[in-house]
Structure 1
Amino acid sequence: MIAHLLRLAKGSAGLLALSAFARTLTLLCGAALLLYPAWLVGRLADDQDIPPLGTVIAVMIALAAAKGLTRYAEQLSGHTAAFALLEQLRVRLYEKLIPLAPAVTASRGSGRLLSAATRDVDRVEVFFAHTLAPVVTAVLIPAAAVVLTWSLTGPGLGGALLVIYLAAAAMLIGIGRRGGRATSTAQVRARGALAQEISDDLRGRSEITIFGAQEQRAQRVDRLGAQIGAGSRGASVLQGLRAAAGQGWQVLALLVLLLLGLPQVQEAVFGYTELLLVLALVPGTAPALAAIEALGISLPAALASAANLRELEESSPAVREPTRPAPVTTEADGAASVSFQGVRFGYPGTSREVLEGVDLHIEPGQVAAVVGVSGSGKSTLAALLTRVWDPQEGQVRLGGTDVRELSLATLREQITVVEQRPVMISGSIRENLLLGSPEATDEQVLAACRWACLDTDIEAMPQGLDTELGTEEARLSGGQAQRLALARGYLRASPVLILDEITSAQDPLTQAEILRRMPEATSATVIMIAHRSAVLRHVHSVYEIDAGQITAAARPAAGA
């Protein structure tokens, strides 16, 4: 996974190298701020001359200023690279998700995807901004300290300091190493599940309130919160242990170096100056080694998030683009026929077949109804026609062409689906109506609203079509939202129009009027998915579906 992240960072390698170089200079300046006073004290202890006070002050100011400047350079270059990579990661994720949509939202949930695109990407950014350069300096600075100690005092203290650094690094890495990655992975999944729960609750807030299920839903969120809290507490314990170890190794190092160094000073092997310099190296280089402590905290989370993102990116699309797309054909007045031939389908990950050998044919320009109880497979027919999924057996044809031979963009231009619970975007009523047909004129918009029985509602609003949704004057009822979506569908004027329970929230009079105006509104092939028999008087043919099978062949509707 680290190799995968490093490959992603190739484009920003120069900035990341600059960040590592600037961090090295920052740590060297920080160490020098301790080493210089230690050298001065040692010179005094050895009865040697020291520079004038003005020189000492000037050197200390210069070191502090240099440390500030190099720290700024480190942060600027590191974060510039990291934020550029963050942008690339989000764009890359979006580009990878496009071929997976819309099936990916149905299988994984929009909340989990949102969590991946925000929280997981942010955690991967930490790897680039706060891991790469610190890891480099965590090796370079201690190595330089060992070389300096060896040259000043000989192999005794140099070797001891090397052993101390290695032991400290092993201890900091080892604390919680086994559980850290597993805990972080569990936390990523739990947070994604929590995001999905909240997303579902916001979408279904009306039903939750009506059924008095607030406590039940709150308990589900509480359980996930408790799971996340338990994982966070475990991570905090490990973080505390690492922090204690980060301070403890310095105390032990100072004691060991004093015990080894004082006898050699007394034997005049080297002086107090060298000993104090070596002792000052311990706190002077500790910030470099502290990167290993930070690595133990941030790296497992970053790797878990990166693995989650990579899993999303490498997911196989439910449907694939044809290598040589066929042209689409319409057959009469811009309408197209729709056929299902021997279609069998079961949702991925389940053993149950939703559709079993479905055969039906709808002529271009016809209005057909597909009726059946919930779960019988009605909406699945629409999902297969728009290639949200592909059937395991059989063919779905649009205008005589297998939909698998059409490019996805072309296919979905030919079909408009109006859902029972339509999605409204933030903005005005006009912007929602023009979502699928931005070039439509006001006359076309008003005509579509009239055909959908929405015209009187818009006239009653303070700013008409320009009324912003969500304001007190434009809180749409369920029936109004359905009619707005229907008008939006009429405006798009695609060859096939699928209406999925679009009159379920209407009163009987409005429902009858919508159906009466439909022939004037569209010449498309219309497929009405419904439970209620009220629609059957207004269609050319009816298909009854039960348990995934057509139980009654197409027949003229009564009173059609």
Structure 2
Amino acid sequence: MTSATGPGAHASASSLGRMVRHMLPYLRQQKKLAAGGVLAMLTEVVLRVAEPWPVKYVIDALSVSLGARLDGDLAPATLWLLLVCGGCALALAMLRAMASFLTTLAFALTGSRIATRLRADLYQHVQRLSVQYHRTTPQGDLVQRLVADIGRLQEVAVTAGLPLMGNMLTLVAMSGVMLWLNPPLTLCVLGCAAAFVLATRYSAPKITAAARKTRKQEGALASLAHETLGAIAVVQAYGLESALSRRFAGANQKSLTEGVRARRLAAALERATDVLVALAVGTVLFFGGLQVLRSEMTPGDLVLFLTYMKTTMKPLRDVAKYSGRIARAAASGERVMQVLRQQPAISNAADARPCSEPVRGELHFDRVWSDYGGAPVLKGVELHIRAGEHVALVGASGAGKSSLAALVMRLQDPARGEVRLDGRPLRSLTLASLRAQVAVVHQEPVLFAMSIRDNIRMGNLAADETAIVAAARQADALAFIQVLPAGFDTVLGERGETLSGGQRQRIAIARALLRDAAVVVLDEVTSGLDSRAAQAVLNSLDRLIRARTTLVITHDFDVAMRCERIIWLEDGRVVESGPRDALLAGDGRFARWGAERAPATRSTEGKYDD
């Protein structure tokens, strides 16, 4: 159990404080709108303070008319007095309603704009985080933080934060008026308020902790659903529906348990607040009634004081009512801040400059070491690749082939050593200009749920229709695109699943062609394709890599034989490097690997030679 002054309370207040500090720059961007909302709120508070006074005058006047003796030579009720007080009450209510409307509108717009900007910044920030981060972070949970958690922050800011802010201002104003009206009764009310503060300090950390666990479980649920639906073909093929449903149900039950606990704690606080409010009302009725009987205050004063007291106690009710929402918002805010505090592993150096044009594509790896998860992958690699050279990176899985290519794109940086492009260290180049010089075709081509035209245009967002069609033609994709009912306007399914593997690869090649980069990385581009589709893809690649520096990552001997130079990696080191024919004629690893293949498999030998 966490006490009110224990670590839980401090952690909750600290995290809430960090979240508020992080939101201040966004709030400053909307300072005019927010200031207008504050002004409208202050107007509403003033009108709320003034609103009960017509009732006081009417009650006192009616009491005098009924024969009561009141101090202050109060006049009896008249038609004119009733009319004026009724009109004032109506006018004050209407003005307060208008001020309340303007306050709600101003703060709703402020909250929406802040949430929109925060979500955009978070999305941009997430895209800058390292590939390693994304590999170890559940994607469903990231989406939950990006969409649901920021949405909850916005909702609570408008539905709970705004009313609480206004009511706290009202509490201060009303308390001042009550002290002026009757200090002894005010002390009774403040005593009940103090008891509420103690109850809140005891309950709030527990509610926040339960809400934090709920949000964590909801994130786990989203990740599980994302993972399952993303692999639905495997799930159905292996008959895993029941097993995964049970796993989802278990996670769902945990989320339900924590959610119910948070709501139970919030409900208990709310009921305790009702008791405290009732105690305050009863105390004021008793002692205030005695004062009226002693002629120490008028009946109108008692009604006025009771009205102020009930208005003053409203913030206490709201804190209890909204405590669950506020706790869930605090938990959501923590989750958003956790992502924003993640620093990108790769960023522009202070003195980074754009690539000079034109880029030739010469690469030099100077005693490069790299690691993955703390374990060394590349170990002192020394390698020079000439501009326009076609190089096959071969070797067993885990030898470091993909790490070598990742270094070229600065998806990771060397732990030691240096990689240079055209003699310039990669760290001295801006990320955008460097990556603009590299085109990648992956083993599993990544296509987006948009039209074929837009998928190809992703290679060069400034490309016109003529360039897009030309790229599709060069990639041997134009024929099958034109057969589709909507042609280039055909919208693909998620990850391009509506196309065959070979068609997806050719769309990816067209995108790479449109990029017109100096360096091309081909990562197992024919893996999983039948011989006919693989041959079509390889023919398309001939046009892509012509006169470009090309790194071909492959386990396919035929694909390796299409390159003019072979680099054999083993345990993070280059153990063989040289012309294809020279290595094949020797007795090294590549020659032994080639000897295991039938001669007939070498029909495509030399295809990549210029």
TM-score normalised to structure 1 length: 0.87
The answer to whether the 8 A contact 1:498-1:527 is kept is: yes
* 1:72 corresponds to: 101
1:433 aligns with 2:456: yes
**1:98 Cα deviation after fit:** 5.4
CA offsets 1:229-283 (integer angstroms, 9 cap, x no match): 2221112112212321332222111111123223333333223332333233333
Q: Read off the aligned partner of 2:239 and give its amino acid letter.
A: G
Q: In the aligned structure 1, how far is the partner of 2:549 from the partner of 2:396?
A: 23
Q: In the alignment, what sits opposite 1:355?
A: 378
Is the contact made by 2:509 and 2:541 (CA closer than 8 Å) also made in structure 1? no
Does the CA-based 8 Å contact 1:417-1:497 persist in structure 2? yes
Corresponding position: 1:418 with 2:441: yes
Structure 2 unaligned spans of 5+: 1-17, 69-75, 585-604
Distance 1:258 1:510, change over 3 A: closer
Stretch of structure 1 that moved more, 481-490 or 449-458 = 449-458
Q: Does 1:86 align with 2:115?
A: yes
Determine helix, strand or coil for the equivalent of 2:376: coil
Q: Equivalent of 2:560, from 530, 536, 542?
A: 536
1:117 to 146, 151, 175: 146
| Distance in structure 2 (CA, Å) of the matches to 1:372 and 1:197 | 35
How far did 1:160 drift?
1.4
Give me the whole-angstrom Cα distance separating, in 1, the residues matched to 2:31 and 2:318: 20
**Count of residue pairs the alignment pairs up:** 553
Tell which deviates more after alignment, 157-166 or 307-316. 307-316
Residue number in structure 1 paired with 2:170? 141
> 8 Å contact 2:448–2:493 — kept in the other structure?
no
Residues in 1 aligned to 2:275 and 2:239: alpha-carbon distance in whole angstroms: 55
Distance in structure 2 (CA, Å) of the matches to 1:316 and 1:247 = 46
Q: Write out per-residue CA displacement over residues 455-481 of structure 1, whole angstroms, 9 at most, x where no aligned residue.
A: 44224323433333349x992122211
| 1:493 and 1:524 in contact (8 A); partners too | no
For 1:441 and 1:42, the matched residues in 2 are separated by 81
- How far apart are residue 323 of structure 1 and its match? 2.7
Q: Are 1:232 and 2:225 counterparts?
A: no
* Contact in 2 for aligned 1:181/1:301 (Cα 8 Å): yes
> Partner residue of 2:37?
19
C-alpha change, 1:533 and 1:119, in structure 2 (3 Å) is same
Amino acid of the residue matched to residue 155 of structure 1? P
- What's the counterpart of residue 247 of structure 1? 274
- Secondary structure of residue in 2 paired with 1:243: helix
Q: 1:215-226 counterparts in 2 under 5 A?
A: 215-226=242-253
- Stretch moving more, 546-555 or 376-385: 546-555
Aligned to 1:279: 306
Q: Is the 8 A contact 1:35 1:281 kept in 2?
A: no
The alpha carbon displacement at 1:416 in A equals 0.7
For 1:235-314, list aligned pairs within 5 A: 235-294=262-321, 296-314=323-341
Q: Pick from 467, 487, 504 the counterpart of residue 481 of structure 1.
A: 504
- Equivalent pairs: percent with the same residue? 26
In 1: Cα distance, 2:253 partner to 2:46 partner: 44
Cα deviation, 1:105-125, whole Å, max 9, x if unaligned, reads 344354333333322323333
Amino acid at match of 2:377: V
Task: Provide closer, same or farther for how the CA distance between residues 14 and 409 of structure 1 changes in structure 2, counting only shifts above 3 A.
Answer: closer
Q: Which amino acid aligns with 1:160?
A: C
Cα RMSD, aligned residues only = 3.3
Q: Is the 8 A contact 1:339 1:362 kept in 2?
A: yes
Q: Which residue of 2 aligns with 1:398?
A: 421
Spell out the pairing of 1:382-393 with structure 2 (5 A cutoff).
382-393=405-416
Comparing 381-390 with 40-49, greater Cα deviation is found at 40-49
Q: How does 1:124-203 map to 2 (within 5 A)?
A: 124-126=153-155, 128-130=157-159, 133-152=162-181, 154-171=182-199, 173-203=200-230
Give the letter for the 1:287 counterpart. Answer: K
**8 Å Cα contact 2:130/2:346 also seen in 1:** no
Please report how far the alpha carbon of residue 556 of structure 1 lies from its aligned counterpart in structure 2 after TM superposition: 0.7
> Match for residue 506 of structure 1?
529
Q: 1:484 Cα shift?
A: 1.2
Read off the aligned partner of 2:521 and give its amino acid letter. Answer: I
Cα distance in 2, alignment partners of residues 202 and 429 from structure 1: 24
Q: State the partner residue of 1:366.
A: 389
Residue of structure 2 aligned with 1:10, choices 13, 20, 28: 28
TM-superposed CA distance for 1:29, in Å, is: 5.0
Correspondence 1:338 to 2:356: no
* Contact 1:257–1:279 (CA under 8 A) maintained in structure 2: yes
Paired residue type of 1:386: M
Residue 488 of structure 1 and its aligned partner are, at CA, apart by 1.6
Letter in 2 for 1:156: P
Aligned to 1:158, what secondary structure does the other structure show?
helix
Relative to structure 1, the CA distance from residue 403 to residue 220 in structure 2 (aligned partners, 3 Å threshold; closer, same or farther) is farther
Shift, 1:530, TM fit:
1.8
Equivalence for 1:519: 542
Question: Aligned pair in 2 of structure 1 residues 246, 503: CA closer, same or farther (>3 Å)?
Answer: same
Larger mean Cα displacement after TM superposition, 103-112 or 537-546: 103-112
| Structure 2 CA distance for partners of 1:463 and 1:279, relative to 1, 3 Å | closer
Is the contact made by 1:81 and 1:129 (CA closer than 8 Å) also made in structure 2?
no
Shift of 1:203: 3.2
Partner SS for 1:354: strand
Structure 1 residue 127: deviation in Å? 6.0
Counterpart of 2:484 (choices 461, 473, 476) is 461
Mapped pair 1:377 → 2:400: yes
TM-score (norm 2): 0.80
Question: CA distance change for structure 1 residues 475 and 136 in 2, over 3 Å: closer, same or farther?
Answer: closer
For residues 312 and 95 of structure 2, what CA distance do their matches in structure 1 show?
A: 17
- Partners in 1 of 2:415 and 2:110 — Cα distance? 46
- The 3 A distance-change label for structure 1 pair 510 and 450 is farther
CA distance, structure 2, for counterparts of residue 130 and residue 195 of structure 1: 25
